[in-house]
Amino acid sequence: MSTVFGVPTQALFGQLLIGLINGSFYAMLSLGLSVIFGLLNIINFAHGAQYMMGAFAAYFLLQWAGLGYWWALLVAPVVVGLLGVVLERTMIRRLYHLDHLYGLLLTFGFALVIQGMFRHEFGSSGLPYAMPALLSGGHNLGFMFLPNYRAWVIVFSLGLCFGTWYVIERTKLGSYLRAATENPALVQAFGVNVPRMVTLTYGFGVALAGVAGVLAAPIYQVNPLMGADLIIVVFAVVVIGGLGSIMGSIVTGFALGVVEGLTKVFYPEASNTVIFVIMAVVLVFRPTGLFGREH
Amino acid sequence: MNRILAIVVAMALALATSSAQAQISDGVIKIGVLNDQSGTYADLAGPGSVVAARMAVEDFGAAAKGMKVEILSADHQNKPDVGSNIARQWYDVDKVDLILDVPTSSVVLAVNQITREKNKAFIVSTGATSDLTGKACSPNAIHWTYDTWALANGTGSAIVKTGGDTWFFLTADYAFGHALERDTEAVVVKNGGKVLGKVRHPFPSSDFSSFLLQAQASKAKIIGLANAGADTTNAIKQGAEFGIAKGGQQFAGLLVFLTDVHALGLEKAQGLVLTEAFYWDLNDKTRAWSKRFAERHRGAMPTMVQAGVYSATLHYLKAIEALKSDDGPKVIAKMKEMPTDDPLFGKGAVRADGRKIHPMYLFEVKKPAESKGAWDYYKVRATIPADQAFRPIDQGDCPLVKK
Amino acid sequence: MAGPVEQVEAAAATEPVAAAGHQVVAFVVMVVSLVLAPFFVYPLFLMKALCFGLFACAFGLLIGYVGLLSFGHAVFLGSAGYISAHTAKVWGWPPELAILAGTAAAGALGVVIGALAIRSKGIYFANITLALAQMVYFFYVQAPFTHGEDGIQAVPRGMFLGVFDLRHTLTMYFVVLAIFLAGFLLIYRVIHSPFGQVLKAIRENEPRAVSLGYAAERYKLLAFVLSGTLAGLAGGTKAIVFQLASLTDVHWTMSGEVVLMTLLGGLGTVFGPVVGAFIMITLEHYLAQLGAWVTIIQGLIFVVCVLTFRRGVVGELAQLIRKPL
């Protein structure tokens, strides 16, 4: 059995694959954050809570409407996205003329309220959500037993991330978005309804968080605090990738998931800190992140 | 002369009874149930423990005996700073006499210290650290339901004896996890088993996939989960995903409660081996009490620690009745003097180091087909007699125990 | 674009460098009520409010007068707590030295974090301080001397300056009050000093300040370190009072709490953070029975304050009397 630094290659490839799965969640969540930051210039602290709402939406859809996982993948993000639209229209939009820090504080307040309400109702032990029958079971790849669902997570998130990237970077709608990011007044003057675009963008970013939550429900417990500590890690990912850079978030998300996975093999106690250490290093040499540009 | 004598005797009697009443501080026995009411441990203790304490007060018949008992409760959110603030406040301002329950070992140790300083009483039902009857033992405290040593001894030795002789530990990387791993490893080795590997995961963790891969690679028969709450249930859930059971390995839940199994569902939890001090379906007495409890607690069956709160409150009140005083260390001493007897734990005793002893049980979680309905989750695999279930009194380094 | 910082400009545009009369009055009122309070209110509760008051003032210095929102300030509170607790319990240092050790440790940490973060502004700065604080948090989870979840318990109170027995509650209280007032006055002096004026200049127009020859980054870093050090003073004192140093004090939710206290009390005001701290501690104390409601209410206060109550309690008061507070 060959080894790399004392770890059998079997185990190594297994961990790399696991890292890729984690990276999928980092990528999806940091993508949503970046999209929102790019256009609204606010850091959506409620992103973790919205991820959690996506998971709960899937849970409720099953409990109350008998709608299973596949429905949840479509319906939950729409529901969570709509709630996001309501938040943006009623409250966030009032802050655009102010310092962007207020947006951060407002969304932080949202996160506390949302998480508090769910915790009050459901406690924090977590609720079970069944794995969809079509995706249960797995395949023995030789170096590890890969559950089908985990493979699906990678495939789906890659598709979603690159789909989003394509829309933003290669389509007309995306070009309006990018233009509005740079000069909203001019774009408005061309007849594009910028405020509506902003609202929909926030809704879309939030929906991304929601769909990540649905994806997470069968494998992590549906738990009111599931997004709370995750969001801080995602912030670090976004800083490393560069706030506002779409490709940066995707690539960095997957890459950092892999790095974290490797750390779990060689030095597991540090697996929580490695992303922050990398962030500190990146900040010293490239304060705007690896793919970022000054905003 | 006779009349004066009669009056003097009457006054003396009145004084005697009133001073006996005055021995109960402020005339009220105040019990504070301090636990996690909203977080990870809310279901296994939480409001349920308060229900159990109230049931004990009623069943004891405090009102009929002329004893005024008041129950307060507070949420310590599993944080030692919150817990110690509440404890101080309760002792200083609210004149609480007994603090009860307290999950989370860090809070246990903090409240233990404060109780000692203020000379009150402290009975732990949910907290696990065996240090409470070891290095940190105190004349003001009793450890009631279980501890890390009993868990390690129960699950560890029983599993090794029934064939699970190779182990791999999945440990929460904090003091409680380390202690549980240490105690269990010692027991496994003592019984002729081998520890093939161990890995520590950050606390709390939501993703165990990489650690489970390592557990699978070790080919150990038993994967010992030296963690609690969401970590345990997450590990088990993901273990099902990665086909742990199908690969012939078995999880040993070193600290698992009935409510955790309920949250997981039998599909995921089946086959899990665990040690507890109480189960609602053990005998007629436990069934009867548990049914009463469930009626008052949203239909949920009691966990061992909620049963422990009931049992401890009962014994505490009996001791006060016998002593006619609620002075902290005196009541604790009386509780150690009197043998315990209640419908939930049967006959037992409290040792000099503050350790209550009673039989412990090794349970296995039923398969879904074996269960007849909600809460019908366990089957008994073994009974560990009281004198073997807990750490021998001379091995704990407790200063109260004379060598 | 009116930011948390620009608000105070309107009121402070003609602010004299010396203490204004009304501020002296407010200060005297504060001192008198704090001296009398322990005889009516549970002193331990007051001491908690004082420690957090100092913490909030230190934080408020940074956001109100330098314009930097640090979302990781708990790292100073908690680090100082750990160092003070460790030196007092394990090395047996007297309380005044233990607190000083904690404060110094917080200062050193401030230099390191500040060096990494100070080049960024606004949201980036907030994000970076948050992430760096989280990194330090995870370090403390691992480090053996903190005992992780247990925290450092049974920290001895000791004899302050060899004379005052801190186990006596009232003695402890007045020592804490003295420390609080010392920190408060220091912040006040900094704000109303030439150094403070340069900070204001940088806040209003950094490029101009730089063109005038001021090394803006160095000033900002100095202010950051000062803010962190004073937060450390609060943390070290708290560890001695409560005889406990735990992970709660380094967690990012604690950073959020101090932001809330300052926002509620009034960004950019002198007395705001203290008032905000007292309000929040009182709220938490009385709502502790309600569990998760505390979080919900904190979140609601955040939302309401940000949307409609940006000046905070003291800020609104200052607006009423048209004088800076």
Q: Residues of B95-124 as b/e, b for ≥16 C-beta within 10 angstroms?
A: ebbbbbbbbbbbbbbbbbbbbbebebbbbb
What are the residue ranges in chain B where pLDDT is below 70?
A: 1-23, 39, 203-204, 403
What predicted TM-score, i.e. pTM, was given to this entire model?
0.86
Same domain, B352 and B369: no
Chain A interface disruption, residue of C121, C132, C135, C139, most A CBs within 10 A: C135
Q: CA torsion, points A12, A17, A20, A25, in degrees to nearest 10?
A: -120
pLDDT digit string, tens, across residues A192-246: 888 888 899 999 999 999 999 999 998 887 888 889 888 988 988 988 988 778 8
Q: Looking at the domain assignment, is residue B9 inside a domain?
A: no
Split into its structural domains, chain B has a count of 2
Give the domain CATH number at B225. Answer: 3.40.50.2300
Same domain, B122 and B93: yes
Q: What's the pLDDT band for A95 if we cut at 50, 70, 90?
A: confident
Q: Does A269 touch chain C (CB under 8 A)?
A: yes
Residue with tokens 């106690």: A269
Same domain, B291 and B365: no
pLDDT digit string, tens, across residues B112-122: 999 999 999 99
Q: How far apart are CA B353 and CA B120, in angstroms?
A: 17
Q: How far apart are CA B3 and CA A159, in angstroms?
A: 101
Residue B119: domain span? 26-146+282-358
Distance from the B119 Cα atom to the nearest Cα atom in chain A, whole angstroms: 34
Same domain, A131 and A198: yes
B210, B243, B268 ranked by CB distance to A261: nearest: B210
Q: Looking at the domain assignment, is residue A49 inside a domain?
A: yes
Beta-carbon separation of A116 and C295 below 8 A: yes
Alpha helices in B223-303 (DSSP H): 229-241, 258-264, 266-269, 284-296
Residue with tokens 């690896």: A290
3-state secondary structure of B78: coil
Give phi and psi for A132, each to the nearest 5: -60, 135
The 3 state secondary structure assigned to A54-89 is HHHHHHHHHHHHCCCHHHHHHHHHHHHHHHHHHHHH
Whole-number pLDDT of residue B184: 93
Same domain, A90 and A219: yes
Residue A246: domain span? 227-295
Task: Give residues with Cβ within 8 angstroms of B124, minimum separation 6.
Answer: B101, B102, B108, B132, B141, B142, B143, B144
Same domain, A62 and A120: yes
Task: Give residues with Cβ within 8 angstroms of B370, minimum separation 6.
Answer: B379
Same domain, A107 and A165: yes
Beta-carbon separation of A150 and B209 below 8 A: yes
| Residue B173: closest C-alpha in chain C | C142
Q: Are strands B360-365 and B356-357 parallel, antiparallel or unpaired?
A: unpaired
Same domain, A233 and A96: no
- Among B358, B374, B397, which residue terminates a domain? B358
Q: Which of C273, C297, C267 is nearest to C284 (CA)?
A: C297
Q: Which of A232, A226, A238, A239 is nearest to A49 (CA)?
A: A226
Q: Which of A19, A23, A17, A39 is nearest to A246 (CA)?
A: A39
Q: How far apart are CA A121 and CA A118, in angstroms?
A: 5
Q: Looking at the domain assignment, is residue B11 inside a domain?
A: no
CA A119 to chain centre: 21
Q: Looking at the domain assignment, is residue B400 inside a domain?
A: no
Same domain, A187 and A241: no
Q: Looking at the domain assignment, is residue A5 inside a domain?
A: no
C10 pLDDT exceeds 60? no
pLDDT digit string, tens, across residues A155-192: 999 999 999 999 988 888 888 888 887 888 888 888 88
Strands of chain C (E only): list them. Answer: 159-160, 164-165
Mean pLDDT score, A114-142: 81
Q: Is A53 exposed, middle or buried (0-12, 13-18, 19+ CB in 10 A)?
A: buried
Same domain, A258 and A248: yes
Q: What's the pLDDT band for A287 if we cut at 50, 70, 90?
A: confident
Q: Which residues of B touch A147 (CB under 8 A)?
A: 241-243
pLDDT digit string, tens, across residues C208-238: 988 988 888 899 999 999 999 999 999 999 9
Mean pLDDT score, C21-32: 89
Split into its structural domains, chain A has a count of 2
Name the average pLDDT for chain C. 88
Query: CB pairs below 8 Å between B and C: how many?
Result: 71
Whole-number pLDDT of residue C11: 43
Same domain, A207 and A69: yes
pLDDT digit string, tens, across residues B130-176: 889 988 899 999 999 999 999 988 888 888 888 888 999 999 877 77
Same domain, A210 and A180: yes
- Among A205, A225, A245, which residue terminates a domain? A225
| Residue B242: closest C-alpha in chain A | A147
Q: What's the pLDDT band for A135 if we cut at 50, 70, 90?
A: confident
Same domain, A239 and A157: no
Q: How far apart are CA B160 and CA B149, in angstroms?
A: 16
Q: Does B109 touch chain C (CB under 8 A)?
A: yes
Looking at 1.10.3470, 3.30.1490, 3.30.2010, 1.10.287, the CATH number of the domain C6-321 comes to 1.10.3470
C157 pLDDT exceeds 50? yes
Same domain, B303 and B381: no
**CA-to-CA separations, C173 to A225, C51, C86, C94, in angstroms, rounded:** 37, 11, 22, 17
Same domain, B370 and B225: yes
Q: Does A114 touch chain C (CB under 8 A)?
A: yes
Distance from the B109 Cα atom to the nearest Cα atom in chain A, whole angstroms: 24
